[in-house]
Chains A and B, each alone.
Chain A
Amino acid sequence: AQSVAQPEDQVNVAEGNPLTVKCTYSVSGNPYLFWYVQYPNRGLQFLLKYITGDNLVKGSYGFEAEFNKSQTSFHLKKPSALVSDSALYFCAVRDNNNAGNMLTFGGGTRLMVKP
């Protein structure tokens, strides 16, 4: 069975400061990892993904995430937060050995960026 943990319900940062949203995962095979963001009254928008290759993945809006196999983590980062980054962030994993192709999501982390 696959699972995702986002240990923080909410992360507060000041505008201009770096931000990190944490994610750890568990799969039986090799993971495909994703970050999605949900702005108010909007659907889930894709930010970035890790399939294979470079452990540091760059995505939309200046976000990046680092795949760490030994720590089974895929933390989302951004060097300088913007107030407009305030939203709900979801980490998700797909087991590439899973023929069912479903995504398993974490519980979400609300990011609040204050001016």
Chain B
Amino acid sequence: EAGVTQFPSHSVIEKGQTVTLRCDPISGHDNLYWYRRVMGKEIKFLLHFVKESKQDESGMPNNRFLAERTGGTYSTLKVQPAELEDSGVYFCASSQTRTERAFFGQGTRLTVV
């Protein structure tokens, strides 16, 4: 069974540019989560999809971040325009049910210069 996959693994962009991160969850997992870890701090929740619907987006830092999950399969997280403080590792996770453990992808390391 394929795990959660994230693209790209690394991205270096200039301040003000746009970046789109992609997450492919495990097939059949309705629940999809985005988290990020900034500069060695704790991993923080960004948002939660159930199928194509945003269940909870309370962790999204501001309106420069836009997440979508069209068709309830893969998800994208767009940062536009990127700022220096957006640098960090962005993790995606999926689970089959709310109560099951989450399976994490390898993360996308974003560096804004």
Q: Which of A42, A45, A105 makes the CB contact (< 8 A) with B43?
A: A105
Docked CA distance A109–B107 (Å): 18
Q: Which of B3, B55, B99, B102 makes the CB contact (< 8 A) with A103?
A: B102
Q: Is B59 an interface residue (CB 8 A)?
A: yes
Report whether A100 and B44 are in contact in the complex, using a CB–CB cutoff of 8 Å: no
Report whether A107 and B106 are in contact in the complex, using a CB–CB cutoff of 8 Å: no
Docked CA distance A34–B43 (Å): 13
Q: Is A84 an interface residue (CB 8 A)?
A: no
Q: Which of B3, B35, B98, B107 makes the CB contact (< 8 A) with A101?
A: B98
Report whether A43 and B56 are in contact in the complex, using a CB–CB cutoff of 8 Å: no
Report whether B104 and A100 are in contact in the complex, using a CB–CB cutoff of 8 Å: no
Q: Which of B41, B104, B106 makes the CB contact (< 8 A) with A36?
A: B104
Docked CA distance A43–B7 (Å): 13
Docked CA distance A63–B74 (Å): 33
Docked CA distance A27–B10 (Å): 34
Docked CA distance A102–B59 (Å): 10
Docked CA distance A4–B58 (Å): 18
> Which positions in B face A, CB cutoff 8 Å?
3-4, 6, 31, 33, 35, 40-45, 48, 55-56, 58-59, 91, 93, 98-99, 101-107
18 more contacts with CB within 8 A, not counting A43-B6, A45-B104, are A32-B99, A41-B106, A43-B104, A44-B91, A44-B93, A46-B104, A96-B99, A100-B58, A101-B48, A101-B98, A102-B33, A102-B48, A103-B33, A103-B102, A105-B35, A105-B44, A108-B40, A108-B42
